């Protein structure tokens, strides 16, 4: 397919002429979207089913979780390959829908749809950070069930929430874990701009905690001993080990 597209361009432009860089970037993006879409539709569900971990439900009381159980919850997001990716800075015992509704009423909103318009926006360096594509993330074999964003100048805060294998004995509902990351525009080649994780997990977490407290939601900070400042797989990581525990 890539060969056919490039051959067509040469036929249109003619021999000896320079292919405009923006046109070449557009063709590359179209080929990427086409091949990627085919892979997602044809193989992605099979891959997830094959590699997905087997989950065992664990029960915990709300009081136990608040006092010490929170520290037994894994501190890092685990991708499909089993690698540690991002710190899980939020634990939530309550309705994820109610939390999402409250955050939307306080300046957060759904990310842009992953469509052709969003991908074409990556070809312009002037595309606002809020219009750049936002891709889903896996944790422990599951996609996030809450995904919200909030723009702050030329950066974007991204809030994700995943269910865990831990259930609260009082309600039978799962405990949720999440992360709040900071994204900035990043030019990966001369003609493509994507949103990049800046590695700052401190500032957006503080803002989220303040938002919850304004609404009389229970939001308490806990301090993990484990933290990982410095450079990691995703670049420079700013996390002080704090975890926000939230309940309705």
Reported confidence tier of residue 75, pLDDT bands at 50, 70, 90: very high
Across 114-125, average pLDDT? 90
**Residue 169 clears pLDDT 90, i.e. is over it:** yes
Residue 231 has φ and ψ, to the nearest 5°, of -95, 135
Of the two residues 217 and 246, the one the predictor is more confident about is 246
Note the pLDDT of residue 14: 47
Using CA atoms, how far apart are residues 5 and 20, in angstroms rounded to an integer? 14
* pLDDT over 90 percentage in the chain: 54
Report pTM: 0.78
Reported as a pLDDT band with limits 50, 70 and 90, residue 16 is low
| CA proximity to 84, closest of 73, 75, 93 | 75
Give the per-residue pLDDT at 226.
60
Average pLDDT over residues 51-61: 75
How do 146-152 and 142-143 pair as beta strands? unpaired
Q: 4: closest CA among 12, 42, 39, 189?
A: 12
- Give the model confidence (pLDDT) of 187-210 as tens digits: 987 789 999 999 999 999 999 999
């Amino acid at each position: 397919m890539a060969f056919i597209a490039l051959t067509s361009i040469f036929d249109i432009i003619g021999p000896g002429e320079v292919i405009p860089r923006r046109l070449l970037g557009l063709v590359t993006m179209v080929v990427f979207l086409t091949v990627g879409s085919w892979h997602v539709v044809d193989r992605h569900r099979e891959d997830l089913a094959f590699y997905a971990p087997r989950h065992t439900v664990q029960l915990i009381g709300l009081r136990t979780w608040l006092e010490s159980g929170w520290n037994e919850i894994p501190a890092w997001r685990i991708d499909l390959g089993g690698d540690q990716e991002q710190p899980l800075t939020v634990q939530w015992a309550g309705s994820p829908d109610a939390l999402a509704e409250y955050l939307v009423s306080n300046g957060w909103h759904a990310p842009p749809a992953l469509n052709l318009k969003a991908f074409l926006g990556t070809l312009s360096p002037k595309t606002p950070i809020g219009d750049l594509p936002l891709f889903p993330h896996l944790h422990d074999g599951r996609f996030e069930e809450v995904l919200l964003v909030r723009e702050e100048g030329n950066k974007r805060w991204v809030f994700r929430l995943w269910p865990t294998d831990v259930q609260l004995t009082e309600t039978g509902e799962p405990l949720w874990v999440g992360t709040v990351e900071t994204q900035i525009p990043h030019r990966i080649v001369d003609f493509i701009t994507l949103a990049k994780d800046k590695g700052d997990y401190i500032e957006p977490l503080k803002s989220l905690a303040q938002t919850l407290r304004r609404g009389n939601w229970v939001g308490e900070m806990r301090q993990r001993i484990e933290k990982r400042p410095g450079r990691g797989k995703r670049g420079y990581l700013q996390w002080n080990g704090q975890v926000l525990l939230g309940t309705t």
